[in-house]
């Protein structure tokens, strides 16, 4: 958002994404998000992780935390695009807390750690930027957002067959300014840990949530998996009921370059 001051202290450099001019760190000036947090089968979640350096965040025995985030990037350094992230909550390195304490710490500090297991996106430049600079598991799909009354859906389909891969259903919640201040607004930090040539790295995304609503109601965020082969990764996680649904109609964000992961 112009004039917010959020980007003022972040220096950028010019980069090229397969011939397309871009900037790093990448600025997202206008973002909308829908996020659902679930408990999932711990063993299935662990099988998605590329290294023993990452361990599933398991607040109760046998169950791990999985986050599904639907992004509308309306204004970025590489143009507008949509994206869906399916992430397994993780603890990283040797120092690990009991799962319930680690989850509480993340909630209190607004700092979340996850391994991105699937990341459909709907533009070529976003695809190549994610593959070439972060080795994220991106693939091209059609991603559209739909609204009917207060209901919102994010629908992911195969570009050629038009078959359903995923659909996610939430609602437009009543929002307020988040409690944690950043120039009178709240920030959340997402750390992801891509595997690059057998080594785990850390990517940091800082999100300035200008408006946010939350719901802990059962069924507040629903997941629908199609019969497409790409649907099976999410379907195999055996998601339980939603723990929390987070609706952020207005935000801004910065995605920083890869750094070594903590050991």
pTM for the whole thing?
0.93
Q: Which residues contact 205 (CB under 8 A, 6 or more apart)?
A: 189, 190, 191, 192, 253, 254, 255, 256
The confidence score (pLDDT) of residue 183 equals 42
CA distance 131 to 156: 19
The confidence score (pLDDT) of residue 94 equals 77
Is the CB of residue 240 less than 8 Å from the CB of residue 177?
A: no
For the stretch 6-25, pLDDT in tens is 999 999 999 999 999 999 99
The confidence score (pLDDT) of residue 182 equals 43
Question: What are the mean pLDDT values of the chain's consecutive 10-residue runs (263 residues total)?
Answer: 79 98 98 97 97 94 97 98 98 86 91 97 98 98 96 97 97 79 65 95 96 88 96 96 94 97 84
CA distance 254 to 203: 11
Domains and CATH numbers, the chain: 26-260 (2.40.400.10)
Nearest to 205 by CA among 22, 21, 24: 24
CA distance 110 to 95: 19
CA distance 30 to 210: 10
Longest CA–CA span in the chain (Å) reads: 48
């Amino acid at each position: 958002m112009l004039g917010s001051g959020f980007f003022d202290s972040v220096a950028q450099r010019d980069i090229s994404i397969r011939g397309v001019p871009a900037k790093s760190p990448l600025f997202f000036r206008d973002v909308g998000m829908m996020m659902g947090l679930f408990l999932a089968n711990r063993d299935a979640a662990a099988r998605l992780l590329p290294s023993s350096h990452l361990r599933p965040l398991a607040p109760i025995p046998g169950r791990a935390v999985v986050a599904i985030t639907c992004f509308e990037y309306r204004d970025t350094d590489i143009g507008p695009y949509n994206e869906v992230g399916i992430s397994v909550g993780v603890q990283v390195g040797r120092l690990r807390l009991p799962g319930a304490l680690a989850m509480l710490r993340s909630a209190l500090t607004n700092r979340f750690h996850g391994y991105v297991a699937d990341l459909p996106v709907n533009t070529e430049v976003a695809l190549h930027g994610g593959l070439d600079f972060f080795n994220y598991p991106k693939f091209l799909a059609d991603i559209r957002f739909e609204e009917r009354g207060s209901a919102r859906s994010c629908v992911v389909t195969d570009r050629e067959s038009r078959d359903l891969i995923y659909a996610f259903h939430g609602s437009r919640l009543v929002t307020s300014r988040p409690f944690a201040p950043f120039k009178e607004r709240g920030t959340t930090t997402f750390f992801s840990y891509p595997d690059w040539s057998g080594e785990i790295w850390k990517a940091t995304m800082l999100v300035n949530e200008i408006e946010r609503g939350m719901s802990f109601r059962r069924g507040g965020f629903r997941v629908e998996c199609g019969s497409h082969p790409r649907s099976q990764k999410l379907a195999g996680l055996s998601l339980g009921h939603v723990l929390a649904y987070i609706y952020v109609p207005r935000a801004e964000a910065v995605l920083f370059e890869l750094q070594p992961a903590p050991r």
